Chains A and B, each alone.
Chain A
Amino acid sequence: MSSTTPVPGDPFDITTRSNGLRRRRIVERLFGALAILSALAAVGILALVLGTVVAKGLDALNWDLFTKSRPLFGQEGGIADALIGSIIIVGMCMAMAIPFAVLVAIYMSEYASPRIATFLRLVLDILNGIPAIIVGIFVFGLLVVGHGQSAVYGAFALAILMLPMVARATQEVLDIVPRSQREASLALGVTKWRTTWNIILPSAIGGILTGVVIAVARVAGETAPLLFTSSIAANAVSFDVSHALPTLPVAIFAFSESPDPGEQAMGWAAALVLIAFVLVMNVLAKIFAGRKQRQLEGG
């Protein structure tokens, strides 16, 4: 057929005889099967983890859980105090981190020179990668030593974790807003800060909310920073943020190491509550992301 000599083993040589083609087809099928199998197996295992938590958590759910506090030795109890403590601390964390993060993102997107913006992006990405336990040690050394634990310090530690996530998400969304919007607004005589505040931010709100919600979901489950800042707390519901408050992750940590089947059951139930919260946050994130998408498309 041709004057070219078939090069043995060359996968791109279409002139080889069917032997080579057969081998290639077999390899193709093999790897295809391997990919499918390992993917399904992995996903199966992951689903197993989720399923176990949900099943054991559901098993342990009862009304007591939400009306009683962490039990003393040999008693019954619940997670009411930990749940409320978590809500309070995460709420404070959001109040601390979100304004700060949005401001940093605005600076990066609206005011900073490209080089500074790149530098800040790197700073934020590095902050994002700092292990949570290091943040815990940091806040411990900075604030807790000499003053005692408190919910505020715990919220501060979580805010440090939340900051880079929200800042980066906000900055990326701000960057997507078309230049034309800014230019039009400035041309009309609107001040720069009003432009940013009243025009740019609102159009980015979908993306910002997405970032916030994902960050909250992540931060609500963090244990290490709270171990150092809010772990010695009363066995009762308390709203006193100047002292340590019990929290869900720390409670789960304690329950997980307990020999008492009752406490282990509470651990599963608390884990289920935490996962349910994370699930809701992720669904919200999808809703906000959809909204952002529609807004961008709608102009």
Chain B
Amino acid sequence: MTTVTQDPAAPGPSLESRGIRLGDVLFRGVAIVAAAAATALLGLIAYKVIEQAWPAIEHFGLSFVWTEAWNPVEDQYGALTFIYGTVVTSVIALLLATPISIAIALFLTEIAPRRIASPIATLVELLAAIPSVVLGLWGILVFGPWVAENLEPWLEKWLGFIPLFGGTFYQAGMLPAALVLTIMIVPITSAICRELFSRTPRDLTDGALALGSTRWEAIRGVMFAYAAPGIAAAVLLGLGRAFGEAIAVAQVIGGSDHINVSLFAPADTLGARIASQYQGATSPLQQGSLLYLGAILMVISLVTNVCAQLIVRRFEKQRRAV
């Protein structure tokens, strides 16, 4: 049996060790609380939005989602116009932004010499930082009129046989909104693509080139294949951003209640409708309906976002395996 002799000159172990435990416990406790609060916040947001939308959810049920109506006189509301507007503007923005972003990313990583690439990359980063309200300001005062006076007549001239491009030219409508969204998404998506392309392992492309493929074939065959999940994630992230953009869209989309085939005509999206009508809702049911729109928007953007995150995570795993 060993006896533990205590050195009387040494500092009392009980005090110091108590101090250590307290500081550590406190700090760790605070950190845990913070992390738990962040998680709780997410749940609380979802809860609060649905709670405020509940009167309308109860009243209209699920048919709200495919009803095309917005009539405060008769208290009849439906989300179809806005879901249509959200989807169409975002999809058009994505269809335009994706190839442009890939082109910019390729240009910056493969084609441009370092001296040109650097300032252009900075420019694109700066554009990602432009607040959406400023883009909307530019949209109302400069871009919208230009679209109505130049772009829409040109589109009607060449593609007017498609109903999408017919009808009266408006300065506010689906088309300017989709184009503003494109301008918003391009910097974000191209930054992600640029990262992806610059991280492609050189030896894969070198191997393809050694086998005699041209540069474009190497890019297409190797780089795109390798980065495909990343590009998909970038696309989904851009889509999520486009879905959620309310302010700039509200400024240039024209606030219509009805679905119109023509892209030139005014329309509305989920976020934009909430932004323009929420303060002045005349009846509790209108308020609830606006929040029902918010709940739908939240669900759509959550699903898109989670899909993007899952793809990114699987991609990370894949990449580490390579």
A interface, CB within 8 angstroms of B:
11-12, 14, 24-25, 27-28, 31-32, 34-36, 38-40, 42-43, 45-47, 49-50, 52-53, 100, 103-104, 106-108, 110-112, 116, 120, 122-127, 129-135, 137-138, 141-142, 160, 163-164, 167, 191-194, 196-197, 217-218, 220-224, 227-228, 231, 249, 252-253, 255-257, 264, 267-268, 271, 274-275, 278-279, 281-282
Contacts and interface: CB of A to CB of B under 8 A. Distances in A.
Nearest to A34: B103
Contact of B134 (A39, A53, A111, A141): A53
A218 to B, nearest CB: 7
Given A134-B294, A192-B24, A42 B104 contact: yes
A134 B30 contact: no
Nearest to A164: B38
A160 B134 CA distance: 22
B214 A256 contact: no
Given A38-B103, A42-B100, A221-B134, A191 B20 contact: yes
A52 B140 CA distance: 13
B53 to A, nearest CB: 9
Contacts of A135: 45
Contacts of A217: 129
B139 to A, nearest CB: 8
B140 A50 contact: no
A106 B217 contact: no
A12 B291 CA distance: 57
B104 A223 contact: no
Contacts of A31: 216
B186 A252 contact: no
Point out which of B107, B183, B217 has the most chain A C-beta atoms below 10 A from its C-beta: B107
B251 interface: yes
B182 to A, nearest CB: 9
B301 interface: yes
Interface string B113-146: 0000000100111110111111111101110000
Given A53-B134, A111-B31, A134 B298 contact: yes
Contacts of A38: 99-100, 103-104
A132 B200 CA distance: 33
B156 interface: no
Nearest to B131: A221
Contacts of B304: 129
Contacts of B274: 133, 137
Nearest to B101: A42
B267 interface: no
Given A52-B138, A103-B30, A125-B309, A112 B183 contact: no
A257 B253 CA distance: 13
A42 to B, nearest CB: 5
Interface in B271-293: 271, 274-275, 278-279, 291
B243 interface: yes
B297 interface: yes
A133 B294 contact: yes
Contacts of A111: 28, 31-32
B37 interface: yes
17 contacts: A28-B216, A38-B104, A39-B106, A39-B111, A103-B34, A123-B39, A130-B301, A131-B244, A137-B48, A138-B45, A221-B130, A221-B131, A249-B131, A252-B137, A253-B133, A256-B251, A278-B126
B131 A278 contact: yes
A35 B215 CA distance: 13
Contacts of B106: 35, 39
A129 B305 contact: yes
A32 B216 contact: yes
Nearest to B38: A104
B95 interface: no
B262 interface: no
B254 to A, nearest CB: 12
Given A32-B215, A133-B244, A193-B24, A256 B133 contact: yes
Contacts of A133: 244, 246-247, 271, 274-275, 294, 297
Contacts of B278: 137, 228
Contacts of A116: 35
B244 A134 contact: yes
Nearest to B129: A278
Given A130-B302, A164-B38, A249-B131, 19 more contacts: A35-B106, A39-B100, A39-B107, A46-B123, A49-B138, A52-B142, A100-B38, A124-B38, A134-B297, A134-B301, A137-B49, A142-B48, A221-B133, A224-B275, A256-B137, A264-B141, A271-B133, A275-B129, A275-B131
Nearest to B305: A129
Given A12-B212, A39-B104, A193-B27, A274 B48 contact: no
Given A100-B37, A104-B31, A120-B35, A46 B103 contact: no
A28 B210 CA distance: 16
Given A131-B245, A191-B24, A49 B129 contact: no
Given A28-B216, A46-B127, A131-B246, A100 B45 contact: no
A38 B302 CA distance: 32
Contact of A129 (B103, B133, B240): B240
Q: Which 10 A-B pairs have the closest CB atoms?
A: A221-B131, A131-B244, A193-B27, A129-B305, A39-B107, A107-B31, A103-B34, A256-B137, A28-B214, A133-B246
B162 interface: no
B225 interface: no
B42 interface: yes
A27 B247 CA distance: 42
